Amino acid sequence: MNAHPFFLGHVWLIPLFPLLTAAAMLFIGRRLNNSAVNALCCGSVFASFIFSVGAFLQLIALPSEERLVTSVLFEWIPALPFHMLNGRLANFVADFGFQIDPLSCVMILIVTGVGFLIHVYSTGYMAHEGGYYRFFGYLNLFMFSMLILVLANNLVMLFVGWEGVGTCSYLLIGFYFHRKSASDAGKKAFIVNRIGDAGFLLGIFLTSALLGTIRFAEIGPALAAGHFAMGDPLLTAIALLFFVGATGKSAQIPLYVWLPDAMEGPTPVSALIHAATMVTAGVYMVTRTNAIYQLAPKAMALVALVGAVTALFAASIGVVQTDIKKVLAYSTVSQLGYMFLACGVGAFTAGIFHLMTHAFFKGLLFLAAGSVIHALSGEQDMRKMGALSKKIPVTYWTMLIATLAIAGIFPFAGFLSKDLILGKAYEKDALLWAIGYFTAGMTAFYMFRLIFMTFHGTSRVDHDVEHHIHESPKSMLIPLLILAGLSIAGGWLSWPEIFGGNSRFVRFLEPVIATTQLARPEPTHGPGSPHGEIYLMLLSEGLVVLGICFAWYLYIKRTELPGKIAKSLGGFYRLVYHKYYVDQLYDALFVNRAKDLGLALGVFDTTVINGVGVNGAGWLTRFISSLSMWWDTWIVDGSIRLGSRIVWLFSYPVRLIQDGLVQSYMLLIVVGLIGFLGYYFYLGHHAVR
Amino acid sequence: MAALNSILFFFLSALAVVSAILMVTRRNIVHGAVYLITTLLATAGIFLLLQAEFLFVVQVILYVGGIMVLFVFVIMLVNLDVSLLRFQFNGQRFVAGVLALALSAQVFLAIWMGRNSLHLPEPAASIAAKNTEAVGDALFQRFMLPFEIASILLLVAMIGAVVMAKRRV
Amino acid sequence: MNATIPTDYYLWLSLALFTIGVIGVLTRRNVIIILMVFSRMWGSVDGQVFAIFVITDAAAEAAVGLGIILAFFRNRETLLADEMDMLKW
């Protein structure tokens, strides 16, 4: 591969466009009016989308085996030699490099496409908010980070994007930073993510030490060359560490707690980051490194289990939530669980397929919810909604389409992707399938509960809000419509063979999935026989319809029942309503302990470091200086004064003699005379003798 | 005759000593001056006994007649009343007395030890008869230089005294 | 005739007079008396020519001394030796 075709060779432009406009917002955003901001920020994302489409088209022009294009911009971390675990010498190199293959192509199309629609939506939704340019600047910065993440050709650069989206998530969740709850939610998101990131980093280091490389393209050959056995403990360790990072970023148990709180951010943010793109980074990462996972079946089993349990757990909480966005948040956690379930059972392509359809319908759900909130002047509590279907019809119909998709009604997008996952799960483990199956029923139930409570029944809207109910502007409605279309048709990209399709999407992604001689080749068809697959489909459709009817019964027909059921379930209801008190548990175990540590260190700082160290050093200095002063005064000065005092001792008496009186001088003369005569006597005495 | 010598000598000696003591101890200055005169006269008498007539005359004329008159003039010029009331002897009197007596004792001892070896030469008869001439001879021949110096001294003293005593204008 | 009086008697006399003189000089407060006594000390000197010179000296010194006393008295209004203590640094 020498000269790349234009779009493939200029892949680096795709993240660059939003980066440039983000920088523009940073430097001159303040002085721009809304239209200018719109033109720049939406324009750059659109440009990235065009380039993504171009790259995709040029990629499929290549034969299937050659669909891996790398372009390195520059060597970021130069080669640092080190010793691998097996003693061989290797180089730690991190390029600033991009990799286009089917997987990253799918991701950039989703990110730029859905991202662009959400940008357009935001121009309407945020039109009257303060900090308009700041919002779009952050949004574009996020686009840049996410694109870096999905286009990276090595683990370290992926991590750069990973951290970048985490930062932008923090910035955007806490966009209304005047609200303490918002800034707290931003901090929570970032800190919880950080825990996952620690695991991820350890995984990267271990990968480097074990395999000698961190480039995705080289991991496969390295694994083969290393002759690793299936279930190798180190590989399992790497897989688990990566998964820790994934649970943080993609909100699985136990690090999901930040996602519901993240609803404090503006609704477009929830749509883009916490539904369509950022939270899917974990799924992407696991799929990227599937070669490692496939050699660690225990890790994959754990991934599947955690995914399934999370799906069920989150769905159960979603059933009793009253805030429209919170329902959608728990729904996201639940659907992400499905994606991990898929990866865990080896159906990586199914997981990515569901990622794509989820981006469409979840994004649509959030945007439509935003439209509802906008219509109701900020109301988010479903208990204060109702009978809106006629008043905001476009919003209603698009949201209904999305709900049908998420519930899994044939032939909407969600059905095909979810069904693919359930099929693969059934092949692996009946229990996993059962959990997923039951959860699908719950999903249908609580999503239609949302629809019925929001749009149907009697209006429970506040009186003063009721007068202002209006449909959203076109800038918000058009993205809704486009996403609705995708929610209907998105699944058709991988029309299953049993219905006469050719599973094109799944086949497209196949080269990305590693096939080692030890791993079973991933089947792209359903369980055993075509008949088995149809049975499963009918089973799940049946449960879904049952769920919808149950929801209709409780929320349209006999609306007094939910209250009664809640009362009769008493404690259990309260447990679920309070999200199983997980936040409180974490607070007691970790958060408050960390705060205590901080306080203790603070006390240590004041008393020991300040008291002993600083004040002590001060005291010591003063003490030493007082010693010096003593020495100086008494020894140094003293010796000088001693000299002068000795002189004085001799001179003082002499001075006293001089009193100015003549008579005392004469007395001294007499004394002298006596002395003289005495001397002569003495001499005479001795001379005689 | 010898007995008369001795009597005169002891009388004059006693007079000289007593007058000296009195002079030193009187409160009134004028009294002191009078006693000085008497002691000087007594000393002059002793000179005469020693057949130094010139010296006798000089002593009387110069000392008593000149110097004492000077003294008396000055005494009159300064105010006496105040000092009459005060104590006459100064602070160092005890130490001074002791030391003076010590000095005296030393000289006493010297004289005592050599008392038997002291002899005044017998003056020749001719010299004894012409004392004044002999003195004059000695002064102008052997002691010429000291004589001249003495005269300069007197000149200087005279000028000095005038300068000292003159009232500044 | 002199032989009848031992020579040393004259010396004793001189010594006595000199001693009295010393005591007086050292102990009297009135400067005039001091001066007088000082003069008397010289009177106890023997040897004729020497005595003449001594007398000469005595006269000179008496004159100057009295002049000093007068000047001093005009400045300080005192005749007491205790109060004449300017002869120091």
Over residues C49-87, the pLDDT tens digits come to 777 777 887 888 888 888 888 887 777 777 777 777 777
Q: Which segments of A45-145 are extended strands (E)?
A: 69-83, 89-100
Enumerate the β-bridge partners of residue A468. none
* C-alpha span between C60 and C55 (Å, rounded): 9
Task: Specify the range with the lowest mean pLDDT, choosing from A134-148, A319-333, A558-572.
Answer: A558-572
- Residue partners of C69: CB distance under 8 A and separation at least 6: B74, B78, C31, C32, C35, C79
Whether residue B129 has pLDDT greater than 60: no
pTM: 0.65
Give the three-class secondary structure for A496. Answer: coil
Residue A200: pLDDT band with limits 50, 70, 90: very high
For residue C22, give how far its alpha carbon lies from the nearest alpha carbon of chain B (Å). Answer: 6
CB contact under 8 A, A674 and B109: no
Cβ-based contacts under 8 A for chains A and C: 28
Whether residue B84 has pLDDT greater than 90: no
Joined tokens for residue A654: 């002499």
Please tell me which residue of chain C has the smallest CA distance to A673.
Answer: C22
Residue in A110, A105, A55 with CA at minimum distance from that of residue A277: A110
Whether residue A637 has pLDDT greater than 80: yes
For residue A646, give how far its alpha carbon lies from the nearest alpha carbon of chain B (Å). Answer: 29
- The whole-number pLDDT of residue B70 equals 85
Residue C5: pLDDT band with limits 50, 70, 90: low
CB contact under 8 A, C28 and B83: no
CB contact under 8 A, A662 and C84: yes
Phi/psi at B168 (nearest 5 deg)?
-75, 140
Residue C33 touches chain A, beta carbons under 8 Å: no
Joined tokens for residue A547: 């769920």
Please tell me which residue of chain A has the smallest CA distance to B97.
Answer: A667
- The whole-number pLDDT of residue A3 equals 54
Residue B70 touches chain C, beta carbons under 8 Å: yes
- The whole-number pLDDT of residue B80 equals 63
Whether residue A138 has pLDDT greater than 90: yes
What distances in angstroms separate CA A354 from CA A213, A288, A362, A600, one per listed residue? 30, 16, 11, 47
- The whole-number pLDDT of residue A519 equals 40
CB contact under 8 A, C85 and A670: no
Enumerate the β-bridge partners of residue A100. A69
- The whole-number pLDDT of residue A516 equals 41
Whether residue A663 has pLDDT greater than 60: yes
Other CB atoms within 10 A of residue A657 CB = 11
Residue A447: pLDDT band with limits 50, 70, 90: very high
Residue B53 touches chain C, beta carbons under 8 Å: no
Residue numbers in B near C21 (CB within 8 A): 20, 24
Residue numbers in C near B146 (CB within 8 A): 53
- Residue partners of A21: CB distance under 8 A and separation at least 6: A40, A41, A43, A44, A136, A137, A140
- Residue partners of B98: CB distance under 8 A and separation at least 6: none
Whether residue A687 has pLDDT greater than 50: yes
- Residue to mutate among B9, B78, B82, B135, with most C CBs inside 10 A, is B78
For residue B96, give how far its alpha carbon lies from the nearest alpha carbon of chain A (Å). Answer: 6
- Residue partners of A192: CB distance under 8 A and separation at least 6: A248, A255, A257, A258
Instruction: Convert the pLDDT of each residue in A366-401 to its tens digit.
Output: 999 999 988 888 888 888 888 788 888 888 999 999
Residue in B90, B96, B103 closest to A673 by CB: B103
* C-alpha span between B107 and C12 (Å, rounded): 10
Residue C7: pLDDT band with limits 50, 70, 90: low
Residue C82 touches chain A, beta carbons under 8 Å: yes
Enumerate the β-bridge partners of residue A71. A98
Residue A671 touches chain C, beta carbons under 8 Å: no
Other CB atoms within 10 A of residue A621 CB = 10
What distances in angstroms separate CA A372 from CA A325, A365, A375, A420, C14, one per listed residue? 11, 10, 5, 32, 147
Cβ-based contacts under 8 A for chains B and C: 211
- The whole-number pLDDT of residue A574 equals 78
Q: What dihedral angle (degrees, nearest 10) is formed by the CA atoms of A413, A452, A182, A22? A: 40
Joined tokens for residue A474: 């076109």
Other CB atoms within 10 A of residue B137 CB = 13
- Residue partners of A511: CB distance under 8 A and separation at least 6: A64, A65, A67, A68, A101, A102
- The whole-number pLDDT of residue C3 equals 47
Whether residue A62 has pLDDT greater than 70: yes
For residue A683, give how far its alpha carbon lies from the nearest alpha carbon of chain C (Å). Answer: 22
DSSP 8-state symbol, B67: I
- Cβ atoms of A162 and A212 within 8 Å: the answer is no
Joined tokens for residue A15: 């993240």
For residue A654, give how far its alpha carbon lies from the nearest alpha carbon of chain B (Å). Answer: 17
> Chain centroid to CA C2: how far?
28
Instruction: Convert the pLDDT of each residue in A548-562 to its tens digit.
Output: 888 888 877 777 777
Q: Is A93 left (phi over 0), alpha (psi -120 to 50) or beta?
A: beta
Instruction: Convert the pLDDT of each residue in A473-522 to its tens digit.
Output: 888 888 888 888 888 887 777 666 666 655 667 667 766 776 543 344 44
The letter for the amino acid at A34 is: N
Residue A226: pLDDT band with limits 50, 70, 90: confident
